[in-house]
Chain A
Amino acid sequence: MTAAAILAAGQSPARLRLNRFLRHRAAVASGFLLAALVIAALLAPWIAEWRGTPPDAIDLLNRLAEPSWRHPLGTDELGRDLLIRILYGGRISLAVGLTAAVAAASIGTIIGVLAGYRGGVIDAILMRLTDFVIALPLLPLLIVLTALDLGKLPIPDGWLAGDPSGLWRIVVIIALVGWTTVARLVRGATLAVRQHEYMRAAMALGAGPMRTITRHVLPNVASPIVVATTLSIGQVILLESVLSFLGLGIQPPVASWGNMLTNAQELVWSAPRLAVVPGLAIFATVIACNFLGDGLQDALDPRALQDRR
């Protein structure tokens, strides 16, 4: 049925997928929104220079100022420009979200492919490891890990010195516990691919494991990976805000959406603007990531086509 449709239309599968994705309007809009957020965050230093309001420029005489031409979104509790801080916060929050999600997906893919492709004892060990990590109570564990004194571990000093805001520590920790979903998905998909005739043929013809994996397995498991990753970006951004709430997130004066939102808590009655702006940024990003994942799922899963009329 699907194959017939493709043949009839005379389109390449890639083209078809793109078309399917483009028909998902919310996903397209989300894609644009995310791109715009990323670009704005990347441009933050230049915007700050152009407006003459650096993110850490404290002005005690101009605290909690209402929006004005000079400060389009007003100023925060230390008189810093809220717009610029949101943009800089975006750099951190998006970086944490993207890198942690991608790192977790990479770990998950490697473990999943290995387990599904090799099977047997390796599969059993890896899957029990996955069960173990899933069984870990995540939030308390994160708290222990963020409060750890890494000085007691044999890690070279230089590694820690470059990370005063705690950014990479958070990324590494989230990646280390966040890979289980992807690993399970990928293992399942790999098992399914392995059963296919063409795979058996390729293996019988003596294709090496690396080649089989890169040529045949990975392209076929790409869709669950991509979807799971987009969905987890939003979760990671939320997790960072929760860690900030517990005082274990990104350290000042570096801004992140999470710590801006946390800091606004106590001023929620007098300056709700301080909470609304980062709140909306998180809200928009998480929603956009989810719609994007949705659209990608539709685009990458050929069966979904039938439902669109």
Chain B
Amino acid sequence: MHRALPALAVSLTLGIGAPAFAAGGDGTLTIGISQFPATLHPSIEPSVAATYVSNMARRPLTTYDADWNLICMLCTELPTLENGGAVRETTPDGDEGIAVTYTIQPEATWGDGEPVTTDDVVFSWEVGRHPQSAFANIELYRQLYDITVIDDRTFTLHFDRVTYTYNAVNDLRALPEHLERPIFEQDPAAYRNRTLYVTEPTEPGLWFGPYHLVEVVSGARVVLEPNPTWYGEPPTFDRIVVRTVENTAALEANLLAGDIDMIAGELGLTIDQALAFEQRHGADFQVIYKPGLIYEHIDLNLDNPLLADRQIRQGLLYALDRQTLVDQLFEGRQPVASTSVSPLDWVHTDAVMQYAHDPAQAAALFDAAGFTELRGGVRHNAEGVPLAFELITTAGNRSRELVQQVLQAQWQAAGVDITIRNEPPRVLFGGTLSRREFSAMAMFAWSSSPENLPRTTLDSEHIPTAENNWSGQNYTGFVNAEMDDLIERAEIELDRTERERLWHAIQAIYAEELPALPLFFRANPFILPLWLEGLVPTGHQYSSSLYVETWRRAQ
């Protein structure tokens, strides 16, 4: 092994910029992220960090691109009803179903020389369907009831329902059948621990992307090098090192010290830290803020007798000056949300109730709800009940704690008393939210993909209760027959214009009823060296590293 050579390359890039790279190569790119990918299996508990890394070494069949359009990656052409790739059919049970046909890129080859074939997709589907596999999301595998193999590269998926995402199979990931099947068949329950992705992640046969993994130091770094079997545009960096530094202040120091070249936006600095960084070092780095699909909001427990009153919910939102908050704390980089749908999503509409800061309107609504008497700066109603709420968020998340204190102050000015009681994330998400044990308000974020129906969060069937084993994410307890109906209809509406209309109706109800108070969409700060070109933030869960082969060093 030529251990000395790569080390030399590292010190050169970090040093005073002697550009002595191998011919045609762009040297090493060292990326800093704040979380280590615990397991690199693409389908078992895929963490953001794991997805970020493995996206450089493998590709999904389909994905959403940086403009949030569905595109083919591993497949050759996106099948649609219009181009005949998708055909409506009747399932064996007599339901309406759909058959969608994909063809795998003809030159796609695993790192060990085996071609990527239909068998790899079928194997992945078999594992996902197996009751003892630990695949996180098996909704896909439930709906995908059969696969017809046409040839080595072509196959047809049969779904038992026709939804508008019928051709999005972003989560169906080809797995190297020739390597993994024996392991799986030996003991399906132990597969999650014995898969090569865990035991030997540097095995070339696991990867077919522009890079493959050459070194994994648990907790510290993953090193990737160009994959000789890659079929697409050749990548320009000779080596990519993804380093983990969990403390963000230390992460920033690593960047300044030259130990890392860039900080990924997907898992990097907090926005206020990035803003402060830009003020000092804006000339030496590119700082890109990409707002996306991370929706910061406050879930309201609608079983709370005060919050059950819509006037109070609306009053609470009118009392907030979210624009000033965003402008002052985040220099306006994070757009104020009017509903849970991002302004960058094509189904977004502004034609819903808007809540600009309006203390008079807030006061009028509180008065109408009976909270007229001001005692010690807090509104009380005729029975002497104060307009007081408890606000919970994740302890230790500095940005949220800052926002939370600003909200507390703004509500205080409107006569609303807020008590802050924060909990560590595992306590908040593990019990308080999922068992609906929060008394009034819980501030957190949802992250999603483009045009993602809010079924689990707004449908009345998804309210967690003891009877349904605390499943579902409708933590607010929102029950609205019209909303249930709209979600049901939108899911199976394939006509874009009609679906857009349904989406607009969903947003209108959301903004009027306010099951949750929308705050803003979080922006991810990407801190890149001036010489890096071609990196385009996506703003959703399908990370920028899916296009790593287009990253290059400016001449």
Contacts and interface: CB of A to CB of B under 8 A. Distances in A.
Interface string A69-88: 00000000110000000000
Interface stretch (A55-63, A127-135, A209-217): A55-63
Nearest to A60: B328
Contacts of A151: 437
A68 interface: no
Interface string B262-273: 000000011011
Given A147-B427, A251-B422, A58 B406 contact: yes
Interface string A125-167: 0000000000000000000001101010000000000001000
A266 B270 contact: yes
A63 B420 CA distance: 22
A6 interface: no
Contact of A78 (B252, B280, B395, B406): B406
Contacts of A268: 249
A270 B424 CA distance: 28
B368 interface: no
B412 to A, nearest CB: 8
Contact of A60 (B396, B406, B426): B406
A269 B406 contact: no
Contacts of A77: 272, 402
B353 interface: no
A266 B272 contact: yes
A265 B246 CA distance: 14
Interface in A235-288: 246-248, 251-253, 263, 265-271
Contacts of A267: 272-273, 276
Contacts of B248: 266
A193 to B, nearest CB: 46
Report whether over half of chain A's contact residues are helix, strand or loop; otherwise say mixed. loop
B279 interface: yes
B272 A252 contact: no
B405 A253 contact: yes
A303 to B, nearest CB: 47
B180 to A, nearest CB: 36
B165 interface: no
B431 interface: yes
Interface in B107-150: none
Interface string B382-410: 00000000000001111001101110110
A60 B360 CA distance: 21
A268 B250 CA distance: 11
Given A247-B397, A251-B395, A252-B404, A269 B329 contact: no
Contact of A247 (B249, B396, B406): B396
Contacts of A78: 402, 405-406
Interface residues of B, number: 35
Given A56-B409, A60-B324, A248-B396, A270 B279 contact: yes
B452 interface: no
B496 interface: no
A247 B269 CA distance: 17
Given A58-B409, A60-B406, A164 B420 contact: yes
Contacts of A58: 405-406, 409
A246 B280 contact: no
Interface string B402-434: 101110110000000001111010110001000
Given A61-B328, A266-B272, A270-B276, A251 B406 contact: no
A63 B330 CA distance: 12
B479 interface: no
Interface in A14-63: 56-58, 60-61, 63
Contact of A253 (B277, B420, B427): B420
A147 B395 CA distance: 10
Interface in B272-323: 272-273, 276-277, 279-280
B281 to A, nearest CB: 8
Contacts of B280: 269-270
Residue among A58, A61, A149, A164 with the highest chain B CB neighbour number at 10 A: A58
B325 interface: yes
A279 to B, nearest CB: 14
Contact of A149 (B270, B402, B431): B431
Given A164-B420, A164-B421, A251-B420, A63 B328 contact: yes
B499 to A, nearest CB: 40
B132 to A, nearest CB: 30
Nearest to B408: A253
A99 to B, nearest CB: 21
Interface in B8-55: none
Most A-side CB within 10 Å, residue of B280, B329, B405: B405
Contacts of B401: 252, 263
Contacts of A57: 409
Contacts of B424: 146-147, 247-248
Contacts of A266: 248-249, 252, 269-270, 272-273, 276, 398
Nearest to A262: B398
Contacts of B269: 266
A233 B426 CA distance: 31
Nearest to A57: B409
Nearest to A254: B420
Interface centre among A146, A147, A266, A268 (most CB of B within 10 A): A266
Contacts of A265: 249
A263 B405 contact: no
Nearest to A270: B276
Contacts of B397: 247
A157 B346 CA distance: 48
A270 B269 CA distance: 15
Interface string A188-200: 0000000000000
A263 to B, nearest CB: 6
Nearest to B394: A247
B420 A252 contact: yes
A267 B328 CA distance: 15
Nearest to A146: B424
A268 B270 CA distance: 14
B328 A269 contact: no
A251 B421 contact: yes
A267 B329 CA distance: 13
Contacts of B276: 266-267, 269-271
Given A164-B420, A269-B277, A248 B395 contact: yes
A58 B418 CA distance: 14
Nearest to B412: A56
A256 to B, nearest CB: 13
Contacts of A147: 424, 426-427
Contacts of B277: 269
20 contacts: A56-B409, A60-B324, A60-B406, A61-B328, A77-B402, A78-B405, A146-B424, A164-B420, A247-B395, A247-B397, A248-B396, A251-B395, A251-B421, A252-B401, A252-B420, A253-B405, A266-B249, A266-B269, A266-B270, A266-B272
Interface of B: 248-249, 252, 269-270, 272-273, 276-277, 279-280, 324-325, 328-329, 395-398, 401-402, 404-406, 408-409, 419-422, 424, 426-427, 431, 437
Q: Which 7 A-B pairs have the closest CB atoms?
A: A247-B396, A60-B328, A270-B276, A58-B409, A266-B273, A265-B249, A253-B405
